[in-house]
Amino acid sequence: MNKRLYVGNLSYDTSEDKLRAAFEKFGTVTDVKIMQDRNTSQPRGFGFVTMSTQSEGEAAINGLNGADLDGRNLTVNEARPLENRSPSGGGNTRRFSKSRRF
């Protein structure tokens, strides 16, 4: 069974190929995705790597969590499922009435 890993504290210069190469030392990498900002397409500093087995994923966590890649100490742990988010996007829920005092 695949093991999906969260990889944080990535340098903005780190490519998906370089990230794949770092994780391939611990087993077969089936997917690599560095997250990008929707508006600017710039890297957001984190991503996900999927290893082919549970044991390879655990080996990668043990071997790479805190390791240096492109001058940054990586944070590597098991990816958690996306929690339910409200479609409103959050923000200020305070409502203003039409009668304001100035």
Q: What is d(CA 50, CA 31) in angstroms, rounded to the nearest whole number?
A: 5
Give the mean pLDDT of 79-87: 74
**Of residues 85 and 67, more confidently modeled:** 67
Could you tell me the domains of the chain? 3-78 (3.30.70.330)
Q: Facing residues of 49 across strands?
A: 5, 32
Has residue 93 got a pLDDT over 60? Answer: no
Has residue 92 got a pLDDT over 80? Answer: no
* The overall pTM is greater than 0.85: no
What are the CA-CA distances from residue 77 to residues 6, 72, 73, 74, 99 (Å)? 5, 16, 13, 10, 51
pLDDT of residue 86: 58
